[in-house]
Structure 1
Amino acid sequence: MPYIVTVKAGLVDVVLPGNIRVQGGESVRLTDAQFHQVTNSARAALFTSVQQVDVPISKEYVDTQDALLLPRAGGTVEGDLAVGGGLTVAGTEVSGTQAGDVGLRAWTFDPASITGGSSATVGTLFLCAVYLRRPTTVSGVWFALTSGASGLTAGQSFVGLYSASGVLLTSALLDSMLTGTTARQVAIAPQSLSAGTYWVALLVNATTAPNIASGEANSAIRNTVMNLGLSPSQYRYAVAGTGLTSLPSTITPPNNSSTGIQAFWFGLS
């Protein structure tokens, strides 16, 4: 924690750590590191008072050297935190490529981790979670085909976006978007979204389903590990119905299933 120190009256041009220059009678704030660079004997000679400052942990606190300070015991920064360099949390590097680095609002996972394509089983409502860390507006959904569909049933294939409570926020018809082998961007009605969890939904009806770029291909791993430790309402990947020809206006998240899930890659723009 930082300290507020008052320099003894009569002293002139006192230079403290961080090249902080003060005069007698003035008070100045020192970071914890700066304060402890001053020896005990020097403190006694220089300061008439020393006060340790309690930093509010629910707000940003920036010192004179533009360093973010939080109590050593921990705390929460509410709002945005911009880090210009690398960021390590509890020894783990967390400043790898993020969706915003490539112009997206969020994604299901880094597309560099795509391992191939998985079938979008006909009539099955697939859910794939995206996590928004801050409020934003989205107006498009990205996905990629590794093989196209054939015999599409007109008006029965959709991409959509569900809230964490299971409300369908928007959807778009995919009839012309499921052929070929390419990345697709589907326009959706712009949605102003708060921070939180959302599901991108995919429903396909065709004679032959397309294969969508995805992550883990082993179904046993998908069905057991992808949602490890999560309740159905929190599933990262889920199935929310079968035998469907349209997206329901609401789903019931506690009824989400982890059987038959696919780790499709989606990006929100």
Structure 2
Amino acid sequence: MLPDSIPTVTVTGRYLTPDGTPLSGNVTFRAPAVLTFSSADVILGGPVTIALDATGAVSVTLPATDAPGMNPTGWAYVVTEQLAGVAPGRSYSVLLPAEHRTADLADLAPTDPGKANYVAVRGDSAYEVAVEQGFAGTVEQWLASLVGATGTKGDTGPKGATGADGPTGARGAQGSQGTPGKDGAAGVVQSVNGQSAAAVVLTAGDVGAISATAAGAAGGVAQLDQSGKVPASQLPASSGGSAVASVNGKTGAVVLAAGDVGAAASDHAHTAAQVGALGTATRGAALGVAPLDGSGDVPLANLPTAAIPSVWTPGDLGFKAWTFDPAVTDSAAQYCQIGYVYLMGIVLREAATLSRLCFYTAGNGATQPNNQSFAGLYNSSGARVAQTTSLNNWFSVNEGNTIECGLTANYSAAAGLYWVALLINGPSAATNGPGFARGAAAGTNPAGQARASAVSFIRHGRLSTTGLTALPASFAPASAIVPDANAIWAAAY
């Protein structure tokens, strides 16, 4: 809605066909430039397009073309009509002065299409002419100056005599009804399907039909029987209906035996060699097949020397996965800060059922972890998938020992990346609890953080939240993990 300080004019119009049917389409009003109204703190721009309603009418309220304080001035609206079925759309210019609050396009639009477009320019009013001629004063004063002094009332004249009534005329006789005229001749057909002749004759092709002679004929169309199907007589020989001539060289009521199709009878016995198979004696023998052990792996005895790794693997020491070879741990032990969750990355190369999370303590003091201490397993999305019971049940005073912490339930892990999590609470002195075997501990971002830029998995770190007394159900790996200078050794099986 326009501000009240901008004078407006409501423009209406109605468009009908010659028989009174409402037209459809739209009418566009376009100012020649962007209009600025500084007093109203507003800038107006762009065309205004109004669609004809169901009665063919339009109505729109627009700023007056002579609104005070408007920049630029001295312009007119360009009206463009786009009406369905009326071509081409005409365009013309109109002024909308503020003194006329309403205007109808029927009074403004040019009616003669042969005339050039024009702008309806308002002429000077009588008051404006009077001002031009030297009158000084307001419109009200000028209107008052047009009223003369009241003259004296004249005498009442004498009443005239009443005239006599005129004679009543005689009523004429009603004339007889005329003879009805003859009916006019019927209109003449001008053309039929584009043909103009005294006697038009149409063929099947003239009306988009198929000739009756094309039914069942070559190059024509197929006929349908009473069931709506093409008769067998009009089907090609390859469309079916012919009997099988023979089966495997036999005719009549054919019954095939196993030998007829190159097969052995169901009760016939063959050796492995006769059926192209390997006998059980070939298991583990030269040119035979390799057996699998109870875990589904090929035994080392059946692997070539080059396929047997020359380094220690987790399986060699009974684990499914570990963070790194424990033989390369640092000489100093890692004592965990209370309430921190440490994360150690492991890789499962194949699916496995896990029941234990393992750590190595280079030594353990007199104060044991309390019942707010836990170990757990998180997948690479940060969801906790397994957890131990409280660690106060697993640690004892020692000078070096593998600590195997049982999960509350076995976990069937798919192959992939996981974090072993460790939370220690209880020991108050830095060296009064378990001292864990660890890898490199140089700086705040040790080599345990090394990875390619495309890899998001952080091998060693800890959660940014402190003071925890339980493992969280999940965390956001991209934001919750911070680097840690200590790479604690951990394993799972």
* TM-score range for the pair, normalised by the shorter chain length: 0.5 to 0.7
Residue 264 of structure 1: how far off its partner (Å): 1.1
Residue 146 of structure 1: how far off its partner (Å): 1.9
SS at match of 2:334: strand
Deviation per residue, 1:102-150 (Å, 9 max, x gap): 2211111111112231121111110001100001111011111123255
Structure 2 partner of 1:193 = 413
Task: Check whether the contact 2:378–2:384 (CA below 8 A) recurs between aligned residues.
Answer: yes
After TM superposition, list the pairs within 5 Å mapping 1:230-245 onto structure 2. Answer: 233-240=456-463, 241-245=465-469
Check if 1:247 corresponds to 2:471: yes
Higher Cα Rg: structure 1 or 2?
2
Give the whole-Å Cα distance in 2 for the aligned partners of 1:258 and 1:65.
54
Structure 1's 236 and 81: CA in aligned 2 closer, same or farther, altered over 3 A? farther
Give the whole-Å Cα distance in 1 for the aligned partners of 2:288 and 2:487.
41
SS at match of 2:319: coil
Structure 1 partner of 2:487 = 263
Task: Check whether the contact 1:145–1:212 (CA below 8 A) recurs between aligned residues.
Answer: yes
Structure 1 partner of 2:205 = none
Residue in structure 2 matching 1:110, options 322, 325, 350: 325
SS at match of 1:180: coil
Residue 213 of structure 1: how far off its partner (Å): 1.1
After TM superposition, list the pairs within 5 Å mapping 1:151-170 onto structure 2. Answer: 151-152=367-368, 154-170=370-386
Residue 86 of structure 1: how far off its partner (Å): 4.8
After TM superposition, list the pairs within 5 Å mapping 1:217-236 onto structure 2. Answer: 218-220=441-443, 223-229=445-451, 233-236=456-459
Give the whole-Å Cα distance in 1 for the aligned partners of 2:370 and 2:326.
30
Check if 1:144 corresponds to 2:360: yes
Runs of at least 5 residues in structure 2 that lack an aligned partner in the other structure: 1-285, 290-295
After TM superposition, the score normalised by the length of structure 2 is: 0.35
Q: CA RMSD in A?
A: 2.8
Give the whole-Å Cα distance in 2 for the aligned partners of 1:156 and 1:101.
33
Structure 1's 230 and 152: CA in aligned 2 closer, same or farther, altered over 3 A? farther
AA aligned to 2:435 is: N
SS at match of 1:254: helix
Give the whole-Å Cα distance in 2 for the aligned partners of 1:226 and 1:251.
21
Task: Check whether the contact 2:438–2:489 (CA below 8 A) recurs between aligned residues.
Answer: yes
Structure 2 partner of 1:211 = 435
Residue 214 of structure 1: how far off its partner (Å): 1.3
Give the whole-Å Cα distance in 2 for the aligned partners of 1:164 and 1:194.
11
AA aligned to 1:267 is: A
After TM superposition, the score normalised by the length of structure 1 is: 0.62
Structure 1's 132 and 118: CA in aligned 2 closer, same or farther, altered over 3 A? same
AA aligned to 1:190 is: N
AA aligned to 1:175 is: N
Give the whole-Å Cα distance in 2 for the aligned partners of 1:140 and 1:153.
18
Give the whole-Å Cα distance in 2 for the aligned partners of 1:236 and 1:104.
18
Residue 262 of structure 1: how far off its partner (Å): 2.2
AA aligned to 2:313 is: Q
The higher-RCO structure (CA 8 Å, 6+ apart) is 1
Residue 82 of structure 1: how far off its partner (Å): 7.9
Deviation per residue, 1:206-233 (Å, 9 max, x gap): 21342111112x331x724211235684
Residue 257 of structure 1: how far off its partner (Å): 3.5
More strand by share: 1
AA aligned to 1:144 is: Y
Task: Check whether the contact 1:233–1:255 (CA below 8 A) recurs between aligned residues.
Answer: no
SS at match of 1:112: helix
Structure 1's 249 and 224: CA in aligned 2 closer, same or farther, altered over 3 A? same
Deviation per residue, 1:4-26 (Å, 9 max, x gap): xxxxxxxxxxxxxxxxxxxxxxx
Residue 258 of structure 1: how far off its partner (Å): 4.2
Residue 87 of structure 1: how far off its partner (Å): 4.6
Structure 1's 112 and 178: CA in aligned 2 closer, same or farther, altered over 3 A? same
Identity across matched positions, percent: 30
Task: Check whether the contact 1:214–1:265 (CA below 8 A) recurs between aligned residues.
Answer: yes
Task: Check whether the contact 1:155–1:175 (CA below 8 A) recurs between aligned residues.
Answer: yes
Give the whole-Å Cα distance in 2 for the aligned partners of 1:224 and 1:115.
13
Runs of at least 5 residues in structure 1 that lack an aligned partner in the other structure: 1-63, 68-78
Structure 1's 95 and 176: CA in aligned 2 closer, same or farther, altered over 3 A? same
Give the whole-Å Cα distance in 2 for the aligned partners of 1:86 and 1:104.
23
Give the whole-Å Cα distance in 2 for the aligned partners of 1:261 and 1:165.
23
Give the whole-Å Cα distance in 2 for the aligned partners of 1:192 and 1:152.
30
After TM superposition, list the pairs within 5 Å mapping 1:62-101 onto structure 2. Answer: 84-87=303-306, 95-101=310-316
Give the whole-Å Cα distance in 1 for the aligned partners of 2:422 and 2:456.
18
Task: Check whether the contact 2:369–2:395 (CA below 8 A) recurs between aligned residues.
Answer: no
